[in-house]
Amino acid sequence: MRVLVAMSGGVDSSVATALLRDQGHEVTGVTMKLWGGDSDTGCCSVAEVDDARRVAQQLGIDHHVFNFGDEFDAKVVQPYVAAHARGDTPNPCVECNRHIKFDKLFLRAQVLGFDAVATGHHARVVTTEEGRRIGRGADTTKDQSYVLYMLDQDKLGRLLLPVGDLRKEEVRALAGRLALRTASKPDSQDVCFITKRRGRASFLGERIELHRGRLVDGAGAQVGSVDTIELVTVGQRKGLGLGGLGEPRFAVEVDVPSRTVTIGSRDELSCQGIELTELCWAGAAYEGPVMAQCSAHGSSRPGRLVGSTLTWDTAHPRVAPGQSVVFYQGDTVLGGGLAVRNLAGLRVR
């Protein structure tokens, strides 16, 4: 089988490539050049491209660099900026998977005659009675099934995830035995186009106007302020300057047009449901009981999905608009969507 492997320059994709080569596949590595600006981490930096190229040399396979910079800017960076401007909390890594890794790259692989695309994600492609699904990775502490919820049957039929059945320590041990240069390289968990030196505020400030905001309680009384309301996230506690108010206070609602952040207690942060948009499914659309996960490394909680509304079985902390909500049945992904609005006061079904 001819396999195109997305090599990010990290240990997981390096080992994925080695495993496929050793299984006898005709393997070609590719690193995607996505961001043309400053980058000090993630798959967009010069160092990552160089590490991927050198691992490919070690393994004796061809390696290419595909430039998807224009698409990345249009589908990931600009929506990221626009989301912050309206007070949402975007997930650029999910959108990169949706539009770049599992769209542009898949199309390029098809044009070039590859039979499959592989990545180093810690997840599995499993077959159920309803068809293929993304399953959680064997290493639950590194599981990345959450960020792959947008994959449909066609993509799942052409996707290989070679490290999904391995624990992280096994991946590193294998990389060590093969003497791969990425064997001890630390994991990257940052947004690739936001540098550590400058941060989000500087990046956004060059692209949109940033504003101070008022902090008000549930009765509308001002209790503080924030320097940049566009950086406040629903559920945020740290950085609000509210340490002297006794019990913890959280950002309950962010209203950028009025420059207002409403804060509240842990109980006031709770909600009974979420309105969703951009729902997508591995197979047929689903309604009914689900386990729902609202962050990449969070835990799933039970609820019921009816149309585009998810109702929690018990009160749940509000989800920041713009975040992905992913639905599981057991350890497999049904699909997911984006949070639009938290719903308070719903009767629990």
Task: Name all contacts of 96-99 with Cβ < 8 Å and 24+ positions apart.
Answer: 96/34, 96/72, 97/147, 97/148, 97/150, 98/150, 99/71, 99/75
Amino acid at 100: I
The answer to whether 73 touches 33, Cβ cutoff 8 Å, is no
Catalytic residue of the set 93, 96, 271, 294:
96
How many CB atoms neighbour CB 266 within 10 A?
A: 13
Three-state DSSP class for residue 342: strand
Based on the residue annotation, tell me whether 43 is a catalytic residue of this protein.
Answer: no
- Which residue bears the tokens 């912050």? 84
Task: Name all contacts of 340-343 with Cβ < 8 Å and 24+ positions apart.
Answer: 340/274, 340/275, 340/276, 340/277, 341/274, 341/275, 342/234, 342/271, 342/273, 342/274, 342/275, 342/318, 343/271, 343/272, 343/273, 343/274, 343/275, 343/309, 343/311
Angstrom distance (rounded) from CA 138 to CA 128: 17
Angstrom distance (rounded) from CA 192 to CA 210: 22
Angstrom distance (rounded) from CA 45 to CA 40: 6
Catalytic residue of the set 43, 44, 192, 294:
192
Amino acid at 36: G
Which residues are the active-site residues? 96, 192
